[in-house]
Amino acid sequence: MTWRLPPRWVRRVVLAPAIVALAVLLVPTSLMLVLLVLGAVTWALPGRLRIPRALWMASFYVLWDAACLVALLGLWIGSGFGWAIHRPAFERAHYRLARRMLQVLFWQVRWTLRLRIDIVDADLGTVLTGQPIVVASRHAGPGDSFILVHALLNWFDREPRIVLKDTLQWDPAIDVLLNRLPTQFITPRKARRDGSPGLAAAVGDLADGLGPRGALLIFPEGGNFTPRRRRARIDALRREGRDELVVQAEQMTNVMAPHAGGVLSALDEAPDAGVVFVGHTGLDRLVTVHDIWRELPMDKRIVMKGWSVAPADVPRDRDAAEEWLFASWLRIDEWIEQNEPPVAGTASESRPAAVAAGAGPDVASADLGAPGDGRAPTDG
C-alpha cells in the first residue's frame, strides 16, 4: 500500500507544527532522560539493547527534525517572510543548514548505531573538482540517499540537486528544506496529474545550469532493489524488444537494470558535467521493516565505491549512451558481488573488515563526523 501524500498546506499547517510540539513534549519528560542513559549504555554493549537503541534514535530524530524546522522558520522570516527565499544568498544558507544538520545526524548515527562508512579508492568525484557532476547511484536499503547527500555536502564540498521519491515529503524537515533547494520529487506515473512533465524532462530541467560545485544525484533504478522489481524490469525491457539490454540486465543479480531517460536527459542539459557511478554494500539485506528490525542494532560497515568519467568520455549518441549506462551498471553489480558483506554466522565474518570486503590500502575510512567536522576522508 502506498500512502498518498497530503497537500502542501496540510504538511505545513499540521505535520510540521506536530513535530515541533512532539519535540517540546519529549524534552522535559523522564522518558528522554531514561533514553539518554540507555543510549549511553548501548555504546558499551554493541550488538545489544535493540529496543532502547531504536527508541533513542526515534526520539533523537524527532528532536533533530524539530530543530531543523525552527531553523528553517528563521530563514523564512529573515528572507522577508519568504520574499527572497530562492535568491542565491538564501540558497547557500540552506545548503549550510543542510550540511550542519547532516553532520549532527550522522554523528548520532555513528554513536548509537555504530555505523562506519569506508570509501574505496576515495574516488567519489574528487578527480572532477571544479566541474559539475551527475552522480548515478544504486539504490538499496534505507538511508543510502541520506549517506550520499551527506558525503557530497560534507566530504566533497558539493551543492547537490536531488531526484527522489515524493513520499519523502512526509518528513516535515525534508519537505520544507528540499522544496527550497533544487530538487525533483518523483511522483509515480499512475498518480501524476494529466499534462505533468515526464521524469526525463523534469530531471533535465533540474540539471540545467548546474555549476562547478553542482552535483545532480539520481538513482536510475527508480527504487530499492528487490528480486521482484528486478524481474519486472527485465520483463519490461523484453516487451520493448530491447533484447541486447535484456542480456545485460539478466547478468545483474545485485542491482536492477537502470532507467536511462533521467540520466541521459541530465547529461543533455549539462554537457560539461562528468559522471560518477556509485556502488555500495552494507544495506543490501535491509528490504522490509522486518529486515531492519532483525538487523538492529546495526553495528554495520558500509563500503562505497565511485567510478568517475570525464565529460569528454561520456557517449553523446543516445543508443551508445544507453549501452554505456548498462555496462557501467553491470560493473557495479560485479563489484557488489565481490564485496558483499558476509551473512552473519559465516566463517568469513571473523576476518578483519577491510580484508573481508576485499579492500586494501586504498580504502578511506570515512568518519561520519562529529558536529562541526566537515572534513573529507583521506586515503588510508
Please give the full DSSP string across 63-106, using - where no structure is assigned.
HHHHHHHHHHHHHHHHTTTTTTTTSHHHHHHHHHHHHHHHHHHH
pLDDT score of 9: 74
More confident residue, 187 or 69: 69
pLDDT per position as a tens digit, 312-349: 999 989 889 999 999 999 999 999 988 876 554 443 33
pLDDT at 201 over 90: no
User: pTM value?
Assistant: 0.79
pLDDT per position as a tens digit, 56-98: 788 888 889 999 999 999 999 999 999 999 999 999 999 999 9
Beta bridge partners of 306: 278
pLDDT score of 351: 31
Q: Which backbone phi and psi does 178 adopt, to 5 degrees?
A: -75, -20
pLDDT score of 150: 92
pLDDT score of 87: 94
Band the pLDDT of 193: cuts 50, 70, 90.
Answer: low
CA 71/CA 77 separation, integer angstroms: 10
> Residue 252: exposed, middle, or buried by beta-carbon count in 10 A (0-12, 13-18, 19+)?
buried
- The terminus-to-terminus CA distance of the chain in angstroms comes to 45
Please give the full DSSP string across 203-240, using - where no structure is assigned.
HHHHHTT--TTEEEEE-TT-S---HHHHHHHHHHHHHT
Cβ neighbours around 54 below 10 Å, total: 16
* Most confident option among 109-118, 257-266, 342-351: 257-266
Band the pLDDT of 218: cuts 50, 70, 90.
Answer: very high
Element spanning 130, H or E: none
pLDDT score of 108: 86
pLDDT score of 272: 93
Beta bridge partners of 165: 186
